[in-house]
Amino acid sequence: MRTVFSPAAARQLTLVASIAGALGTVPALAQVAPVEEAEEEIVVQATRSGRSADDEAIRVEVIEREEIEEKILMTPGNVAMLVAETPGVRVQVTSPSLGSSNIRMQGMDGRYTQLLADGLPLYGGQASSAGILQIPPTDLGQVEVIKGSASALYGASALGGVINFVSRRPADVAEAEALVNLTSRDGQDLTAYAAMPTSDTVGVSVTGGFHRQDANDLDGDGWADMPFYRRWTVRPRLFAEGSNGAKLLLTAGAMTEQRIGGTLPGRKAPDVRPFVEALDTTRFDAGLVGETPLGNAVTLHARGSLMRQKHSHQFGEVIEDDRHETSIGELSLSGRAGGVDWLAGAAVQHDGYHSEQFGNFDYDFVVPGLFGQVEGDIADRLTLSASARLDRHSEYGTFLSPRVSALYKPGPWTFRASWGRGFFAPTPFVEQIEATGLTRLDPLTGLQAETAQTASLDIGYRSGGFAASATLFGSDIDGAVQVQNAGPDRVRLINAPGATRTRGVELVARYRWEAFTITGNYVHVDATEPDPEGGARRRVPRVPRDTAGIVAMWEEHGRGRIGLEAYYTGRQTLDDNPFRSVSKPYVELGAFVEVVLGPLRLFLNAENILNVRQTKFDPLVRPSRAPDGRWTVDAWAPTDGFVLNGGVRLMFGGEKEHD
């Protein structure tokens, strides 16, 4: 074992030392704690080891059903708020015109984050920037967040981390619920969930929803600050478990959405012509996750899924129609020998893109891979984990992605250290190109795969109702793909001529006393990159150096809950913004109340009570189009201002009858 661990451990210590040296002294505190406080054991799926979150050598932050219940009432239509309130995770708006967003992990670009559903890439190998807004939280049992390179387990799409949305399992008796939500910005949500056992070994569930939002022009400039959208979703699932311990999950999903932004009817952009932005999306997916024992010591696992997503984009007078496809098949064996849990398997993944108008950007990536993992309790209170994956990418070659982690638990303290390396296969779809389309992009030539190493050092403490943690983290990305101006109305993609470096710290504290919980967090990020236009190194745009939050919640089972929250977002460097080069810091306040009346739950939620809005500082619309085609500046603050939502939730059967 020493031969396996020592080279990676040396690299990890080097990177962690550079993190600590770069940070110096930072202030303290602010939410969703990386330290789990659940009384019952939480088994993590994303690491594939079958261990509880507390016993995992890899740091995994688990958002439990209790918090999902709260966020369902705040944003029933998507999981953006659910993941955004995790320290070190930021939901970044990539297109103010359409509201599209992606997820930055610890300052790393959103395209490096892999979104999974029960371990399957049902939202694509590289999820679109609208994907996070199209996932309803209604049928989630828990959400697992792994920060830092997870390529050792999930390949090229997980360079920056993984968010695994774990489905809600049917109870022993039938249950159902329905929710109606209205917002002060003319938004409506209707969701429904039903689940029942069909036998002692089989259960089924189905989730559906309709979500709608009217366009809003809050500053009266003729440009939609909030786009119109209309979305339908449906997802049935089947769960089966045999008497021998075999398990099977089958799932399928369908979604259709229409989004419209840009200039409102009868209004014009600064060039005195209308400029409508629109995105029509249709997605179908299906997947299975299964396992069966082979004797007493070995288990066979199988995973497989396919996803097909069609887009019709409109950028003013330009129409772009395309199709994205992702499929995966995987077989693995796991077992336990001599106190060590092991896993070994093989997988093949296909990612494809086909455009009707711009066929020179089409690609079909086929990536077969072999992977393995060992994790064991090496000594009293000490757990070590090592995993590695060897991928043969059809376009970019062969890559080895290792990851090593260690856990030490003396008394109330927890110490974790982790180091990993991974790669990312470039596509045309960086943030700017997703927001503006392919019309102004030069053909891709000479791009190389992006590679990175990430490391973290986590210290936690728990005693009674108090829990706290401090995490140092860092990443070095070599050859990150950047957008470079190629003329007055042309751009190209290049590999950065140096490393993109991120160093940071997360500080979290939580205290629970009877029905009251207060949670605070503070995150500091220092991220720099080469200037794509050839200048000196610069700070990575739209990555706040400092963010913080504090949440106070009173909750009593069967009666309701009341919550207050405050979030601070510090200054951000801005890219190609004609109005300012550095953003303003701002504070958002929120309040929430839920009242339980038997099966009926009434709720009211106020977001951004101070009505912070980017258009109060500067216009959203640029005086002229950028070289990449954008009419809007990047979103660095909320564009929707104060929003009030409320509604009713009806719950029947299951455990709810015993509240």
For residue 68, pLDDT beyond 50:
yes
Alpha-carbon distances of 172 from 196, 198, 243, rounded to whole Å? 7, 10, 16
How far is 499 from 17, CA to CA, in rounded Å? 17
In this predicted structure, what is the pLDDT of residue 8? Answer: 35
Q: Which residues of 290-322 are buried (b: 16+ CB within 10 A; e: fewer)?
A: ebeeeeeeebebebbbbbbbbbebbbbeeebeb
Name the pLDDT band for 40 (thresholds 50, 70, 90): low
CA distances to 190, 225, 554, 600, 613 from 635, rounded to whole Å, are: 28, 10, 33, 38, 10
- How deeply is 640 buried, as exposed, middle or buried, from its count of CB atoms within 10 A (0-12, 13-18, 19+)? buried
Model confidence band, residue 49 (pLDDT cutoffs 50, 70, 90): confident
Stretch among 106-120, 405-419, 467-481 having the lowest mean pLDDT = 106-120
- What predicted TM-score, i.e. pTM, was given to this entire model? 0.90
Identify the H or E element spanning 402.
Answer: strand 397-408
Mapping DSSP to helix (H, G, I), strand (E, B) and coil, where does residue 70 land? helix
Q: What is the mean pLDDT of residues 595-613?
A: 96
To which H or E segment does residue 433 belong?
helix 431-436
Residue 478 tokens read as 């070599």
What share of the chain in percent tops pLDDT 70? 92
Q: What is the pLDDT of residues 377-413, one digit of tens each?
A: 888 889 999 999 999 999 999 999 999 999 999 999 9
pLDDT band at 548 (very low <50, low <70, confident <90, very high): very high
Q: Could you tell me what percentage of the chain is helix, strand and coil, using 3-state DSSP and rounding each to the nearest 5?
A: 10, 55, 35
Per-residue model confidence (pLDDT) at position 130: 67
- What six digits make up the tokens of 555? 């909750």
**Residue 546 tokens, joined:** 């400092």
Domain residues for the domain of 173 are 2-658
What is the overall mean pLDDT for the chain?
Answer: 89
- Nearest-CA neighbor of 66 among 557, 606, 640? 557
pLDDT band at 21 (very low <50, low <70, confident <90, very high): very low
CATH code for position 409: 2.40.170.20
What's the pLDDT at 366? Answer: 96
Task: Answer yes or no: is pLDDT of 466 > 60.
Answer: yes
Domain count of the chain?
Answer: 1
Cross-strand bridge partners of residue 441: 491
Instruction: List CB contacts of 96: < 8 A, sequence separation 6 or more.
Output: 225, 261, 620, 632, 633, 634, 635, 639
Q: Would you say 114 and 161 are in contact if contact means Cβ atoms under 8 Å apart?
A: yes
Q: For strands 140-147 and 643-653, give the pairing.
A: unpaired
Which one-letter DSSP state was computed for residue 657?
G
Q: What is the pLDDT of residue 1?
A: 30
Whether the predicted pLDDT of 3 surpasses 50: no
Q: How many CB atoms lie within 10 A of CB 651?
A: 20
Give 102 or 212, the one with higher predicted confidence. Answer: 212
Kindly report the number of other CB atoms within 10 A of residue 265's CB atom: 8
Cα torsion 82, 84, 87, 89 to 10°: value is: 120
Who contacts 602 (Cβ-Cβ below 8 Å, separation ≥6)? 594, 595, 646, 647, 648
pLDDT at position 128:
67
Q: In terms of pLDDT, which residue wins out, 228 or 3?
A: 228
CA atoms within 13 A on the CB side of 272: 0
Q: Is residue 26 pLDDT above 60, yes or no? A: no
Residue 337 has pLDDT above 80, yes or no: yes
pLDDT of residue 12: 39
